[in-house]
Amino acid sequence: MSMSSVAGMTIGLALLAVLVIGLLTYMSALVRKAYELKVELNAVLDRRLAEIEEEAAGRSKKIRREVHDDVAKLKEQLARDVERLTAEAAAGTAETVAEVRREGEAARLAQAQAIDELRRRQLELQRALEAVGRDLARMSAATQPAVPAQPRPVRSHPAPMPPEMDDDDPPTDLRAFPGG
């Protein structure tokens, strides 16, 4: 081997060594740059995640506030509806009670008037019976002067009604009474 071939090989090896060292330097720069990019990317991702979390927390608070406001509005509306329905029910009940009271008062008044009318008629009938009794006594006294007539006791309650009459229909004729 000659000197020139040794020199050529040495130069080739030196060039190869320089090329390998250059490649290693280039590769280390690429690795360092990739690591820096990774660190920067992680920092950007962390920052963006923090921003997204803050944004989500803000939206969550806003949504909670809106839901709370909506729930409060619904509660107020329900309370108003309950009050309105209660007032309507109370008014309806009060009207019904007032109507029942008016009807009861009218019925009581009608009963009182009917009772007064029956008492008035009973008194008239008692007077009529007494007059008939006096007339009978006078007639019998005129025909039999020796026997004094004893007056019949006057009843304080009306005579029993015949079975064919209703309790609501007062007798209009004296012949409807037993013995009349």
Q: What confidence score (pLDDT) does residue 82 get?
A: 94
DSSP category for residue 155: P
Tell me whether residue 154 is in a domain: no
Q: What confidence score (pLDDT) does residue 180 get?
A: 44
Q: What confidence score (pLDDT) does residue 39 get?
A: 95
Tell me whether residue 49 is in a domain: yes
Instruction: State the first-to-last Cα distance of the chain, in angstroms, to the nearest integer.
Output: 179
Tell me whether residue 179 is in a domain: no
Tell me whether residue 75 is in a domain: yes
Tell me the pLDDT tens digit for each residue of 49-85. 999 999 999 999 999 999 999 999 999 999 999 999 9
Query: How does the average pLDDT of the chain come out, rounded?
Result: 84
Residue type, 97: V
* Residue 150 falls in which region: left (phi positive, over 0), alpha (psi -120 to 50) or beta: beta
Tell me whether residue 159 is in a domain: no
pLDDT band at residue 2 using 50, 70 and 90 as cut-offs = confident
Tell me whether residue 162 is in a domain: no
Q: Which residue has the tokens 């008016």?
A: 102
Residue 172: which of 93, 118, 96, 109 has the closest Cα?
118
Tell me whether residue 92 is in a domain: yes
128: containing domain: 13-132
Residue 159: which of 108, 106, 117, 121 has the closest Cα?
121
Q: Which residue has the tokens 């909670």?
A: 64
Tell me the pLDDT tens digit for each residue of 5-15. 898 899 999 99
Tell me whether residue 101 is in a domain: yes
Our count of domains for the chain comes to 1
Q: What confidence score (pLDDT) does residue 101 get?
A: 94
Q: Which residue has the tokens 């013995």?
A: 179
Which residues, including other chains, have CB under 8 Å from residue 167's CB and lie 6 or more apart? 161
Tell me the pLDDT tens digit for each residue of 75-114. 999 999 999 999 988 888 888 999 999 999 999 999 999 9
Tell me the pLDDT tens digit for each residue of 103-160. 999 999 999 999 999 999 999 999 999 999 898 888 888 786 555 556 666 556 555 5
What's the pTM?
0.38
